[in-house]
Structure 1
Amino acid sequence: MDNSEFKKIKQEMSGKVNAIFDDFEESNNRLPTMEEFRVIIADTADNYLGPMEQNIIDGINTNLERQRIREKSLWDAITELEAEVRLRHDSDC
């Protein structure tokens, strides 16, 4: 997956990551821990990637590898966005 695809994923997920932090902070008066954040975002990530069975229809090995690459890129983007939001919140305090 090239850098432009990574940027696209990051852009698409940016609003969702920010919303998770904002909603969690509003409800709990604190930011989510890394573990809490990952539990909350996991459902969104699964929906973004789509069901595995659907991706396997064309060819098992090719699609499993493609799914792993997409999943890794998605989680890399989410992790980067999470770090950016935490830094922004830390600098605001």
Structure 2
Amino acid sequence: MDMSDFDGIRRDISLKVEHIFEAYEKDNYCMPTMEEFRAMFNEHIDEYVGPDDSLRGAGLGMPSDIKQRREQKVWRVVNELEAEQRFLRSE
């Protein structure tokens, strides 16, 4: 993954990560656990990766290896942004 991919993904996802933390803290008065956060973000993963292979028959899908590479890039950025949010909110 080159830096332009990383920066673009980071820019697109940073607000979603921040929103997940804010909404969870508002409702629960604490930060989500790592598992809770990842489960909540996973509900939005297709917004950033693309359609599932189930749409492939309609010409809208992508091969699973491409989707898997995109997912790996997204999760790499999400993990970094999650760590940043935890650090900022723990101070």
- TM-score tier, shorter chain, comes to 0.7 to 0.9
- Give me the TM-score of the superposition, normalised by structure 1: 0.84
Task: Determine the structure 2 residue equivalent to 1:77.
Answer: 77
What CA distance in whole angstroms lies between the structure 1 residues aligned with 2:15 and 2:32? Answer: 16
Residue 51 of structure 1 deviates from its aligned partner by 1.9
What CA distance in whole angstroms lies between the structure 2 residues aligned with 1:52 and 1:6? Answer: 22
What CA distance in whole angstroms lies between the structure 2 residues aligned with 1:55 and 1:14? Answer: 29
* Residue 39 of structure 2 corresponds to residue 44 of structure 1: no
Q: Is the 8 A contact 1:17 1:78 kept in 2?
A: yes
**What RMSD in Å do the two structures reach over aligned CA positions?**
2.1
Greater percentage in helix: 1
Task: Determine the structure 2 residue equivalent to 1:18.
Answer: 18
Of all paired residues, the percent bearing the same amino acid is 36
SS in 1 for 2:44: helix
The structure-2 alpha-carbon separation of the partners of 1:35 and 1:64, relative to structure 1 and needing over 3 Å to count, comes to same
- Give me the TM-score of the superposition, normalised by structure 2: 0.85
* Structure of greater relative contact order (alpha carbons < 8 Å, 6+ residues apart): 1
Which residues of structure 2 form unaligned runs of 5+? none
Paired positions, count: 89
Which residues of structure 1 form unaligned runs of 5+? none
Residue 14 of structure 1 deviates from its aligned partner by 0.3
